[in-house]
Amino acid sequence: MDQQLRITEIFYSLQGETNTVGIPTVFVRLTGCPLRCSYCDTAYAFSGGEKRSIGEIIAEVGRYNTRFVTVTGGEPLAQPGCHPLMTGLLDAGYSVSLETSGALDVAAVDARVVKVVDLKTPSSGEMQRNLYRNLDFLLPHDQVKFVIADAADYEWSKQQLEHYRLAQRCEVLFSPVMGVMPPAALAERILADQLTVRFQIQLHKYLWNDARGK
Protein backbone atom coordinates (compact mmCIF):
# COMPACT_ATOMS: atom_id res chain seq x y z
CA MET A 1 0.00 0.00 0.00
CA ASP A 2 3.03 2.33 -0.06
CA GLN A 3 3.10 2.65 -3.87
CA GLN A 4 2.65 6.28 -4.84
CA LEU A 5 0.57 7.95 -7.53
CA ARG A 6 0.43 11.56 -8.64
CA ILE A 7 -3.01 12.91 -7.70
CA THR A 8 -4.60 16.14 -8.93
CA GLU A 9 -7.54 16.03 -6.53
CA ILE A 10 -9.82 13.85 -4.44
CA PHE A 11 -13.32 15.21 -3.98
CA TYR A 12 -16.87 14.22 -3.06
CA SER A 13 -19.71 15.13 -5.40
CA LEU A 14 -22.71 13.76 -7.25
CA GLN A 15 -21.87 11.46 -10.15
CA GLY A 16 -22.57 13.59 -13.20
CA GLU A 17 -22.51 10.87 -15.87
CA THR A 18 -22.84 7.12 -16.53
CA ASN A 19 -25.56 4.86 -15.16
CA THR A 20 -24.96 5.95 -11.57
CA VAL A 21 -25.70 9.61 -12.32
CA GLY A 22 -26.86 11.53 -9.27
CA ILE A 23 -25.32 9.17 -6.70
CA PRO A 24 -22.89 10.70 -4.15
CA THR A 25 -19.43 9.53 -5.22
CA VAL A 26 -15.78 10.10 -4.32
CA PHE A 27 -13.68 11.06 -7.33
CA VAL A 28 -9.97 10.29 -7.39
CA ARG A 29 -8.44 12.32 -10.22
CA LEU A 30 -5.01 11.10 -11.34
CA THR A 31 -2.59 13.51 -12.98
CA GLY A 32 -1.43 13.20 -16.58
CA CYS A 33 -2.88 12.36 -19.98
CA PRO A 34 -1.28 11.47 -23.33
CA LEU A 35 -4.27 12.80 -25.30
CA ARG A 36 -5.35 16.36 -26.08
CA CYS A 37 -9.03 16.15 -27.00
CA SER A 38 -10.59 19.30 -28.42
CA TYR A 39 -13.44 19.23 -25.89
CA CYS A 40 -11.36 18.36 -22.82
CA ASP A 41 -12.65 20.01 -19.64
CA THR A 42 -9.94 18.80 -17.24
CA ALA A 43 -6.76 20.21 -18.79
CA TYR A 44 -5.70 21.28 -15.30
CA ALA A 45 -5.01 17.57 -14.63
CA PHE A 46 -2.39 17.28 -17.38
CA SER A 47 0.45 18.15 -15.02
CA GLY A 48 1.28 18.99 -11.44
CA GLY A 49 -0.53 17.06 -8.77
CA GLU A 50 0.77 15.65 -5.50
CA LYS A 51 2.29 12.26 -4.80
CA ARG A 52 0.08 10.19 -2.51
CA SER A 53 0.41 6.59 -1.39
CA ILE A 54 -2.36 4.14 -2.11
CA GLY A 55 -2.96 3.79 1.60
CA GLU A 56 -3.35 7.56 1.99
CA ILE A 57 -5.76 7.72 -0.94
CA ILE A 58 -7.97 4.94 0.42
CA ALA A 59 -7.94 6.56 3.86
CA GLU A 60 -9.12 9.86 2.38
CA VAL A 61 -11.85 8.12 0.39
CA GLY A 62 -13.01 6.61 3.69
CA ARG A 63 -13.85 10.07 5.06
CA TYR A 64 -17.02 10.09 2.97
CA ASN A 65 -20.24 8.15 3.49
CA THR A 66 -20.52 6.41 0.13
CA ARG A 67 -19.45 3.12 -1.39
CA PHE A 68 -19.05 4.59 -4.89
CA VAL A 69 -15.62 5.68 -6.11
CA THR A 70 -14.68 6.90 -9.59
CA VAL A 71 -11.04 6.82 -10.67
CA THR A 72 -10.59 9.44 -13.36
CA GLY A 73 -8.08 11.86 -14.88
CA GLY A 74 -6.49 12.99 -17.07
CA GLU A 75 -6.03 9.42 -18.19
CA PRO A 76 -5.71 7.31 -15.03
CA LEU A 77 -4.22 4.28 -16.79
CA ALA A 78 -1.20 6.40 -17.76
CA GLN A 79 0.05 5.69 -14.22
CA PRO A 80 0.81 1.99 -13.59
CA GLY A 81 -0.17 2.43 -9.95
CA CYS A 82 -3.77 2.92 -11.04
CA HIS A 83 -4.26 -0.85 -11.12
CA PRO A 84 -3.27 -1.61 -7.51
CA LEU A 85 -5.21 1.48 -6.40
CA MET A 86 -8.43 0.19 -7.95
CA THR A 87 -7.88 -3.31 -6.58
CA GLY A 88 -7.20 -1.85 -3.13
CA LEU A 89 -10.44 0.14 -3.25
CA LEU A 90 -12.38 -2.92 -4.39
CA ASP A 91 -10.89 -5.04 -1.62
CA ALA A 92 -11.95 -2.33 0.84
CA GLY A 93 -15.57 -2.82 -0.24
CA TYR A 94 -16.06 0.04 -2.67
CA SER A 95 -17.88 -0.05 -6.00
CA VAL A 96 -15.22 1.31 -8.36
CA SER A 97 -15.61 2.79 -11.82
CA LEU A 98 -12.78 3.80 -14.15
CA GLU A 99 -13.08 6.65 -16.64
CA THR A 100 -10.60 5.93 -19.43
CA SER A 101 -10.03 7.35 -22.89
CA GLY A 102 -9.92 3.96 -24.57
CA ALA A 103 -6.46 4.75 -25.94
CA LEU A 104 -4.65 2.66 -23.31
CA ASP A 105 -4.86 -1.09 -22.80
CA VAL A 106 -7.63 -2.14 -20.38
CA ALA A 107 -6.80 -5.88 -20.43
CA ALA A 108 -5.23 -5.79 -16.96
CA VAL A 109 -8.05 -3.85 -15.29
CA ASP A 110 -9.55 -5.79 -12.38
CA ALA A 111 -12.71 -7.48 -13.67
CA ARG A 112 -14.71 -6.05 -10.75
CA VAL A 113 -14.12 -2.49 -11.96
CA VAL A 114 -16.83 -0.82 -14.05
CA LYS A 115 -14.90 0.40 -17.09
CA VAL A 116 -16.30 3.52 -18.77
CA VAL A 117 -14.45 3.58 -22.09
CA ASP A 118 -14.63 6.82 -24.08
CA LEU A 119 -14.32 6.05 -27.80
CA LYS A 120 -12.97 9.24 -29.32
CA THR A 121 -15.20 10.77 -32.00
CA PRO A 122 -13.86 12.63 -35.09
CA SER A 123 -14.30 16.09 -33.55
CA SER A 124 -12.09 15.13 -30.59
CA GLY A 125 -9.02 15.26 -32.80
CA GLU A 126 -7.84 12.01 -31.22
CA MET A 127 -9.91 9.42 -33.05
CA GLN A 128 -6.77 7.72 -34.37
CA ARG A 129 -5.80 6.89 -30.76
CA ASN A 130 -8.77 4.55 -30.23
CA LEU A 131 -7.54 1.11 -29.22
CA TYR A 132 -10.30 -1.06 -30.64
CA ARG A 133 -8.98 -4.29 -29.13
CA ASN A 134 -10.15 -2.87 -25.81
CA LEU A 135 -13.68 -3.71 -26.91
CA ASP A 136 -12.81 -7.40 -26.54
CA PHE A 137 -12.37 -6.85 -22.80
CA LEU A 138 -15.75 -5.23 -22.19
CA LEU A 139 -17.95 -6.96 -19.63
CA PRO A 140 -21.73 -6.58 -19.29
CA HIS A 141 -21.36 -4.13 -16.40
CA ASP A 142 -19.04 -1.86 -18.41
CA GLN A 143 -20.02 1.18 -20.48
CA VAL A 144 -18.85 2.73 -23.75
CA LYS A 145 -19.23 6.49 -24.10
CA PHE A 146 -19.40 8.66 -27.23
CA VAL A 147 -19.02 12.43 -26.77
CA ILE A 148 -20.80 14.02 -29.73
CA ALA A 149 -20.26 17.54 -31.08
CA ASP A 150 -22.01 17.48 -34.45
CA ALA A 151 -23.84 15.40 -37.05
CA ALA A 152 -20.60 13.81 -38.30
CA ASP A 153 -19.77 12.62 -34.78
CA TYR A 154 -23.27 11.21 -34.43
CA GLU A 155 -23.14 9.26 -37.69
CA TRP A 156 -19.68 7.92 -36.87
CA SER A 157 -20.82 6.86 -33.39
CA LYS A 158 -23.86 5.13 -34.83
CA GLN A 159 -21.60 3.22 -37.23
CA GLN A 160 -19.38 2.03 -34.36
CA LEU A 161 -22.44 1.02 -32.37
CA GLU A 162 -23.63 -1.19 -35.21
CA HIS A 163 -20.26 -2.47 -36.50
CA TYR A 164 -19.01 -3.64 -33.11
CA ARG A 165 -22.46 -4.65 -31.82
CA LEU A 166 -21.74 -2.59 -28.75
CA ALA A 167 -25.23 -2.70 -27.29
CA GLN A 168 -24.90 -6.49 -27.12
CA ARG A 169 -21.63 -6.16 -25.17
CA CYS A 170 -22.49 -3.52 -22.56
CA GLU A 171 -24.34 -0.25 -22.00
CA VAL A 172 -23.68 2.53 -24.53
CA LEU A 173 -23.77 6.23 -23.64
CA PHE A 174 -24.28 9.12 -26.09
CA SER A 175 -23.39 12.50 -24.61
CA PRO A 176 -23.49 15.97 -26.25
CA VAL A 177 -20.51 18.32 -26.02
CA MET A 178 -21.81 21.04 -23.72
CA GLY A 179 -22.29 24.36 -25.48
CA VAL A 180 -21.71 22.81 -28.91
CA MET A 181 -24.30 20.10 -29.59
CA PRO A 182 -27.77 21.08 -28.29
CA PRO A 183 -28.89 18.25 -25.98
CA ALA A 184 -32.38 18.18 -27.47
CA ALA A 185 -30.95 17.80 -30.99
CA LEU A 186 -28.98 14.73 -29.95
CA ALA A 187 -31.96 13.29 -28.08
CA GLU A 188 -34.17 13.71 -31.16
CA ARG A 189 -31.64 11.91 -33.38
CA ILE A 190 -31.42 8.99 -30.97
CA LEU A 191 -35.21 8.66 -30.90
CA ALA A 192 -35.59 9.05 -34.66
CA ASP A 193 -33.08 6.25 -35.27
CA GLN A 194 -34.39 4.15 -32.37
CA LEU A 195 -30.89 3.55 -31.03
CA THR A 196 -30.40 1.23 -28.06
CA VAL A 197 -28.26 3.71 -26.15
CA ARG A 198 -28.53 5.79 -22.98
CA PHE A 199 -28.68 9.55 -23.62
CA GLN A 200 -26.84 11.50 -20.95
CA ILE A 201 -25.94 15.06 -20.13
CA GLN A 202 -23.26 16.16 -17.68
CA LEU A 203 -25.33 16.80 -14.58
CA HIS A 204 -22.45 18.45 -12.72
CA LYS A 205 -22.18 21.14 -15.39
CA TYR A 206 -25.84 22.04 -14.99
CA LEU A 207 -25.43 22.23 -11.22
CA TRP A 208 -21.99 23.85 -10.91
CA ASN A 209 -20.95 24.84 -14.44
CA ASP A 210 -17.21 23.99 -14.74
CA ALA A 211 -16.31 24.47 -11.09
CA ARG A 212 -13.23 22.44 -10.19
CA GLY A 213 -13.80 19.73 -7.61
CA LYS A 214 -17.45 19.34 -8.61
Any binding-site annotation on 179? no
Fill in the DSSP letter of residue 197. Answer: -
- Tally of residues, the chain: 214
Q: Cβ atoms within 10 A of the Cβ of 186, count?
A: 23
- Residue 203 one-letter amino acid: L
Q: Cβ atoms within 10 A of the Cβ of 160, count?
A: 17
Any binding-site annotation on 39? yes
Any binding-site annotation on 170? no
Any binding-site annotation on 29? yes
Any binding-site annotation on 93? no
Any binding-site annotation on 150? no
Per-residue buried b or exposed e for 15-36, using 16+ beta carbons within 10 Å of the residue's own CB = bbbbebbeeebbbbbbbbbebe
Query: Is beta strand 24-30 parallel, antiparallel or unpaired with respect to 114-119?
Result: unpaired
Any binding-site annotation on 62? no
* Residues facing residue 123 across a β-bridge: none
Any binding-site annotation on 12? no
Task: For the chain, report the end-to-end CA distance as a whole number of angstroms.
Answer: 27
CA 103, CA 35: separation in Å to the nearest integer? 8
Any binding-site annotation on 41? yes
Any binding-site annotation on 14? yes
Instruction: Specify binding-site residues for Mg(2+).
Output: 42
Instruction: Specify binding-site residues.
Output: 14-16, 29, 33, 37, 39-42, 72, 74
Instruction: Specify binding-site residues for substrate.
Output: 14-16, 29, 72
Instruction: Specify binding-site residues for [4Fe-4S] cluster.
Output: 33, 37, 40
Instruction: Specify binding-site residues for S-adenosyl-L-methionine.
Output: 39-41, 74
